[in-house]
Amino acid sequence: MSSVVGKGAGPRMYGLMGELFPICRSITGEGVRETLRRVAVRLPLEIHEVPSGTQVLDWKVPDEWNIRDAYIARGDGSRVVDFRESNLHVVSYSEPVRGSMSLSELRSHLHTLPEQPDRIPYRTSYYSRTWGFCLAQRQLEALENGEYEVVVDSTLEPGSLTYGECVLHGEREDEVVLSTHVCHPSLANDNLSGIALLTELGRALAASPRVLTYRLLFVPGTIGSITWLARNEANVGRIVAGLVVACVGDSAPLTYKRSRRGDAAVDRAAAHVLEHLDGETRVLDFSPWGWDERQFNSPGFDLPVGCISRSRESEFDGYHSSADDLELVRPERLEEALAAVLEILDVIETDARYVNLAPRGEPQLGRRGLYRGSGGGEPSTEQLAMLWVLSQSDGAHSLLDVAELAGLRFSIVREAADSLRAAELLRQV
């Protein structure tokens, strides 16, 4: 596979986000289907439907939610809160309502962010039946007392849960699983950035030769990954590494959260790649909070799945509100995150152990065209990388071990190994 980000990847990801932004997604329903259909134009995506009521691990697939319209209107029919202006205005999974009520009756169903009076909050009520509206505090303050017409034109009935899966087979059956959630309505960083990155990543992987098999999952948060795990329990033993991708478009430093194991191949690869990137990066230990890494890392599965993001959940200004819009995300930030993910996958895919075939004394590199020094001064980084690989290739150390020992970027060490192998000085174990 190639770890080079394709031309135009940033604008392409940002463009897909713009296309998906208006769609009203939730954990089930037409919004998720429409989103996956648009991803499927770009990737060989299989779309799965799992009926409501299906038992999945300790959970049940909920009824399917769909919404056509919702509003609060004055007596003259003018709308004071309107779903058509922003899909955040309705609490996700609101049951249908149609009636007239006073502002005081309505109040317990209204949600605002008093501290950020211009923002609409994002609220859900997936597993307890209720209804509600979200609005800016300023909008609420402008409402006069009196009677309002209240309509939530939704359906909440047996249907199915939808998720997307793209499998890109490699030479080996060992799998890398990459997952993102697809359940948020018009919110950009959380979670359209993850959908866009995974889509572009899938295109890049599909176009490259692959040793490992890659499985990309586009699932509604929590219930989606639980559903996937329940249906694929027999095959999770093939997973050798995984990444949950979320919130990758804002300006926070690239952040890797370790798997529960803490020392899996993906943990070492991600920590190494982030350490060698320009600018600030973060590596955090596992915690049982966050996104779908919680499910993949539950002790009954204990899969080697970390999480790549910029901001973590609830960490950025505007999180879960109308301020998480397309302005918050930059194409360059998406592109840097994609490059980091590709580099992590490249380490996982190409890390290997080698044996030095001329281990008694240093082999004469100049005779083989591998020594380009002028005779004096410091060795070049490439030269040094070759010496490190030769020195450590005893069959016990992998290239990532060598990179860590030498303090060199993995890609440089791997290129050195490629040159040495071409000169028949190395053999892979």
Q: Which residues bind Zn ion (CB under 5 A)?
A: 190
For the bound state, the minimum distance from the C-beta of residue 134 to Zn ion, rounded and expressed in Å, comes to: 14
For the bound state, the minimum distance from the C-beta of residue 291 to Zn ion, rounded and expressed in Å, comes to: 8
Q: How far apart are CA 271 and CA 343, in angstroms?
A: 11
Write out the H or E segment, with its range, that includes residue 166.
strand 160-168
User: For residue 272, what are its two tokens?
Assistant: 């190494």
For the bound state, the minimum distance from the C-beta of residue 71 to Zn ion, rounded and expressed in Å, comes to: 25
Nearer to Zn ion (CB atom), residue 307 or residue 348: 307
Q: What does the DSSP assignment read for 23-78?
A: S---SSSHHHHHHHHHHHTTS-PEEEEEETT-EETTEEPPPEEEEEEEEEE-TTS-
For the bound state, the minimum distance from the C-beta of residue 244 to Zn ion, rounded and expressed in Å, comes to: 12
Which residues have a Cβ under 8 Å from the Cβ of 375 and sit 6 or more positions away? none
Nearest one of 165, 303, 164, 286 to 238, comparing CA atoms:
303
Nearer to Zn ion (CB atom), residue 324 or residue 349: 324
Peptide bond into 191 cis (omega under 30): yes
For the bound state, the minimum distance from the C-beta of residue 210 to Zn ion, rounded and expressed in Å, comes to: 31
For the bound state, the minimum distance from the C-beta of residue 313 to Zn ion, rounded and expressed in Å, comes to: 6
Q: Are 376 and 352 in contact (CB under 8 A)?
A: no
Nearer to Zn ion (CB atom), residue 190 or residue 343: 190
For the bound state, the minimum distance from the C-beta of residue 320 to Zn ion, rounded and expressed in Å, comes to: 6
CA 277 to chain centre: 19
Nearer to Zn ion (CB atom), residue 71 or residue 218: 218
Nearer to Zn ion (CB atom), residue 309 or residue 350: 309
For the bound state, the minimum distance from the C-beta of residue 223 to Zn ion, rounded and expressed in Å, comes to: 14
- CB closest to Zn ion, residue no: 190
CA-based radius of gyration for the chain: 25
- E strands, 281-420, in order: 281-284, 305-309, 353-356, 394-398
Nearer to Zn ion (CB atom), residue 324 or residue 346: 324
Helix, strand or coil for residue 296?
A: helix
Residue labelled with tokens 């040159």 = 419
For the bound state, the minimum distance from the C-beta of residue 138 to Zn ion, rounded and expressed in Å, comes to: 24
Nearer to Zn ion (CB atom), residue 12 or residue 257: 257
Q: Are 246 and 319 in contact (CB under 8 A)?
A: no
Nearer to Zn ion (CB atom), residue 191 or residue 411: 191
Nearer to Zn ion (CB atom), residue 190 or residue 349: 190
Residue labelled with tokens 């499998």 = 167
Nearer to Zn ion (CB atom), residue 118 or residue 315: 315
Which residues have a Cβ under 8 Å from the Cβ of 61 and sit 6 or more positions away? 28, 50, 51, 52, 53, 54, 160, 161, 223, 227
For the bound state, the minimum distance from the C-beta of residue 192 to Zn ion, rounded and expressed in Å, comes to: 11
Which residues have a Cβ under 8 Å from the Cβ of 71 and sit 6 or more positions away? 79, 81, 82, 83, 84, 149, 150, 151
Q: How far apart are CA 302 and CA 296, in angstroms?
A: 6
Enter the DSSP assignment of 380: P
For the bound state, the minimum distance from the C-beta of residue 44 to Zn ion, rounded and expressed in Å, comes to: 27
Nearer to Zn ion (CB atom), residue 318 or residue 331: 318
Nearest one of 65, 67, 77, 135 to 107, comparing CA atoms:
135
Rounded to whole angstroms, what are the CA distances from 204 to 41, 90, 159, 178, 408? 15, 37, 34, 13, 26
